[in-house]
Structure 1
């Protein structure tokens, strides 16, 4: 099954396609200094929930970039329903190909670092989207310690420890202004939402040629989560600002 289709099936119905809550998204926006008139770009904006929350809470304007056409439609509808379609637009394209007309006040990538292959590459890309005083918000996975079992860690080569994340941030001259961390309940809710979406798809597609693949996919996700993920992997939003160096 094609990757974008798999994501749409397993996560497309989730309000927030990450293990976090609206309250925590709003807190990250507050820490990033978002306010009326702030221009924000979010790469991999999914169904538009993050931008919608920030638009209603802080009055931002900006752009969401998303490659999946079904997600672009949902994001456009969400922003329109929130009365934000005049201020926030969606570009349906590969985020790696986006070149801004002018720099933004804030650039965000919430659970979308896979687009560029990891935290460091995402950080470099977002730096190219903001002005010198701009802020960055990255939501990403991290290892809770450097003692993750190798048989699990090798399946996630792009995941870093938080100390490695801190080093990468300082390397490019930024400081961490805030971390908004997910807890176990957030993880359980997110993973359960994925399992339920896959189970629903399986129930609706008893004769689909990819049925066996989807069953194996569901079981692999659950094996990873119960076997290692719940204990060793975390997720957080990191708010990054220009450093005093």
Structure 2
């Protein structure tokens, strides 16, 4: 089974595919100064929830891009349901192959900087889509402790300390204007949502040829979270503004 198929299964019951909340997403939009005059592009937009929240709260327009066809279908359906589809479009695309169709007032990427190999690569790529005064809203993992067990650190080579996140943002020409950190409850809800999606699939597909692989993935992410993730890994949504 392909990796993206596992992601679609595990996140099937989620609205936001990261350890954050609608309230924090809206607060990040407020800190970024979003308004009805703004156009926003979101990379790795998932199920369109963040664009929908900002469309309803601030009246933004723009587009979302995602590599998963099922995610794009669900995002289009959500935006149509919320009456936002005339203003916000969804494109099925590998964003690494995309070039800017125009310049945007804000670029967002929540939990998907791995598309470009990590935080620094994401800032460089997203900046090419921005107006000179454009802002970035980016959700990123970070090391919550100074000392991380080597066996876990090796699995997450692109994760930075929060000090490094701030310095990398400055090197890219941005200041950190706001931070909205995931709480332990946010993490538990996110991880539990993944487990529930996988367990639901296993219940609905008894005897499926991929069942062993899905169950192995379930146990792997559970063990990783119990052994390391909850103690050593943080997540936050950062609002970046031009320096």
TM-score bracket, shorter-length normalisation: over 0.9
Whether 2:51 is the aligned partner of 1:51: answer yes
Question: What is the TM-score of this pair, normalised by structure 1?
Answer: 0.97
Number of residue equivalences: 243
**Matched residue of 1:137: which SS?**
strand
| Match of residue 119 from structure 1 | 119
Structure 1 counterpart SS, 2:196: helix
User: 5+ unaligned residues in a row in structure 2: which ranges?
Assistant: none
Question: CA–CA distance in 1 between the matches of 2:122 and 2:204?
Answer: 37
Question: Which stretch of structure 1 is more off in the superposition, 200-209 or 48-57?
Answer: 200-209
3-state SS in 2 of match to 1:152 = helix
Aligned to 1:199: 199
CA distance in structure 1 between the partners assigned to 2:187 and 2:172 by the alignment: 30
Larger CA deviation: 19-28 vs 94-103 = 94-103
Tell me how far apart the structure 1 counterparts of residues 128 and 189 of structure 2 sit (CA, whole Å). Answer: 34
Q: CA deviation at 1:151?
A: 1.1
Give, in angstroms, the shift of residue 67 of structure 1: 1.0
Q: Which residue of 2 aligns with 1:79?
A: 79
**Partner of 1:12: helix, strand, or coil?**
coil
CA deviations over 1:23-58 (Å, ceiling 9, x no partner): 000000011110112100000000000000000000
- Structure 2 match to 1:104: 104
Q: Distance in 1 between matches of 2:207 and 2:110?
A: 35
Is this contact kept in 1: 2:100–2:128, CA < 8 A?
no
Report the more deviating stretch, 186-195 or 141-150: 141-150
Superimposed CA distance per residue, residues 112-165 of structure 1 (whole angstroms, 9 cap, x where no aligned partner) = 112122111111111111011000011011101221111111111111110111
2: CA distance, partners of 1:108 / 1:234? 19
TM-score, normalised via structure 2 length: 0.98
CA distance in structure 1 between the aligned counterparts of 2:114 and 2:169, rounded to whole angstroms? 18
Q: Please identify, of 3-12 and 177-186, the stretch whose mean Cα deviation from structure 2 is larger.
A: 3-12
Alignment deviations for residues 38-92 of structure 1 (CA, whole Å, 9 cap, x no partner): 1000000000000000000000000000111111000000001111000000011
Runs of 4+ deviating beyond 3 Å: none
Task: Measure how far apart 1:12 and its partner are.
Answer: 2.8
Matches within 5 A, 1:1-245: 1-243=1-243
Q: CA separation in 2, counterparts of 1:206 and 1:83? A: 38
Taking the aligned partners of 1:170 and 1:13, their CA distance within structure 2 comes to 37
Deviation at 1:101, TM superposition (A): 2.5
Cα RMSD (Å): 0.8
Q: Secondary structure at the match of 1:141?
A: strand
Consecutive unaligned residues in structure 1, runs of 5 or more: none
